[in-house]
Amino acid sequence: MQTSITYVEKAIAKLQSLHPGPGGAVAVIQNGKVIGRQSWGYADLEQRIPMTCETKFPICSITKQMICMVLFSIRQTQLSESSSYANIEKQLSERLKVILRDEIRDSKLTVQHLCNNQSGIRDYWALTVLFGAHPETRFLSPDAAKVLDRIRSLHFPPGDQFSYANTNFYILARLLEDVTKRSIGELLSEKVFVPAGMTTAALCEDNSQLPGPCVGYEGNEESGFFKAQLTHQWSGDAGVVASLDDMIAYEQHLQRLWHDPRSTYRRMAEPQFFRNDRLARYGNGLFHTNVAGLPVLGHGGSVRGFRLARLHVPAEELSIVVLFNHEADAESAAEDMLKDLKSLTERKLAYVDPSAEWSGNYLDEEASLVAQIKVRDAKIIMTYAGFPESLTLADSTHAISRSTFAEIDDDILFVTCMDHNRAFAARQITSDYFCGVGEVVGAYYCAELDSTFRCSGHGGALYGSFDGILGRGPAYLMKNLGEDIWVVSTRRGLDAPAPGDWTVWFSRDEQGHIDKVTVGCWLARNLDFTRVHQTATREHLICDIND
């Protein structure tokens, strides 16, 4: 491996040039020693405050593995006869049943399902769109409790699939607080920060009150950078703030723990499985990935204005940390740096001309989600799970990525999502007819969420908006893909990345009239809204469910 200081510095310089932005910090740790540590740019462009290795960032979803580390540490502590945490599993399970709604209490959902993102619970940050939130809506802890109270169904049985849900770790943190009678901040300090030597790390639940001077920036080189206005509280799914030096101490701590097979970290990293005994690629706040043939443990983090990533290669005793106060892809930056340091190259398939059948929009009827397929530079670009994914052609009708396999056969798209333990066949949406704007204008009500979806517009323009417990949301552009299927585009939200395109699939009654719509994105699927009669009264509409 290329580990000379000069080579590492060159790799860091390459990272900086490929991911330009206001500022950042990066570290490389091998065998417990720091072989690269550098910050650059500005923590605050307007005030010209330099970024340093002591500047604190919100590390966002990297918090999740630390919550699991608290859980595993408590599990180890209960083995002591004098422990106050005796029967911790029973206490957590009983408390989980109290937190869950009656409708899903008997779903056999376990604490481990939460840790592995296999619960089937929809993501509460995605749901805030349907509750009427704006990107800068103030979202407080009591609001999270209101959202939980409206989660009355699952979008798959627990253990069947993987679906990333911040809700899982928010619930897990509340369980730990309830059972231990201590705050999650105290538990993180005792079980993670102090043992790791993370001297300035802390839990900051309100990201409108992040410790200075670091500012997060939305935008890019083309549009310019502007300060992200963060307004919400989170606790468990995110919330930890830490400097690069704190993260270096964390990685050194994890490298030490890896040598002890009984340690919390080694136990967290043990293989996890789905209910059908297939190996899961996510467990206990850790993604298990493969970079150019090298097994890697890691996790990313994001909120508007920040992107973070950490990865650990146990076989090489190597860790990389990347922190950006802008929205460049920190996870790709960390992986690319690993490839540079290890002189790794991805195996490239021979050039193949794609079948003309690929391009189009396809409906996965089971999940009520659209897969949009484009062909670009002999690659298949599939937008399905909230982001465009690039698949390389193996032959003209088969394509593959690290996590997805796809096949096109006439007008049927077959997809296997390996990370998610899910396979489906999606039919191509025809353009023989398009649902007219006038047919769908009106209001639709979801009883489960207590949310109203409003469609407005005329001619060829249609807009969608949501009203709910968080207010009256903004109007979003809607686009018809053919038939009665539309998408609502949400590019900014309370959390980041935003849900992206929501599939909006209208249904008709026996007379051919639109009477229902199913709304969903990958993080929150299959939510039914029923058309309602409406009478205007000042600011609001009085809605009666149309039987």
Catalytic residues: 61, 64
Instruction: Concatenate the DSSP letters of all residues of 341-370 into one string.
Output: HHT--PPPPPP-PPPTT--EEEEETTTTEE
Q: Whole-angstrom Cα distance, residue 374 to residue 492?
A: 23
Question: What is the separation of C-alpha 384 from the centre of its chain, rounded to a whole number of angstroms?
Answer: 14
Question: Sign (positive/negative) of CA torsion 126, 131, 135, 140?
Answer: negative
What is the pairing mode between strands 398-400 and 388-395? antiparallel
How far, in Å, are 143, 205, 281, 326, 415 from residue 228 at the CA level?
A: 21, 17, 32, 9, 36
How far, in Å, are 38, 85, 203, 331 from residue 31 at the CA level?
A: 18, 34, 28, 22
Q: Whole-angstrom Cα distance, residue 328 to residue 496?
A: 12
Give the residue from 461, 503, 459, 511 showing the smallest Cα distance to 483.
Answer: 503
**Interacting residues of 247 by C-beta distance below 8 A, sequence separation 6+:** 27, 59, 198, 310, 321, 323
Amino acid occupying residue 472: R
SS3 285: coil
- Residue 152 tokens read as 């009355």
Find tokens 């396979």 and name the residue: 423
Give the residue from 241, 113, 125, 214 showing the smallest Cα distance to 168.
Answer: 113
For residue 333, what are the β-bridge partners? none
SS3 482: strand
266 in Cβ contact with 284 (< 8 Å): no
Amino acid occupying residue 97: K
The angle at the Cα of 502, spanning 498 to 506, to the nearest 5 degrees, equals: 165
Amino acid occupying residue 173: A
Q: Whole-angstrom Cα distance, residue 201 to residue 215?
A: 17
Question: What is the separation of C-alpha 266 from the centre of its chain, rounded to a whole number of angstroms?
Answer: 24
Question: What is the separation of C-alpha 519 from the centre of its chain, rounded to a whole number of angstroms?
Answer: 19
How far, in Å, are 44, 51, 210, 217, 256 from residue 213 at the CA level?
A: 7, 9, 9, 13, 32
Q: Whole-angstrom Cα distance, residue 526 to residue 540?
A: 26
Question: Sign (positive/negative) of CA torsion 469, 60, 48, 246?
Answer: positive
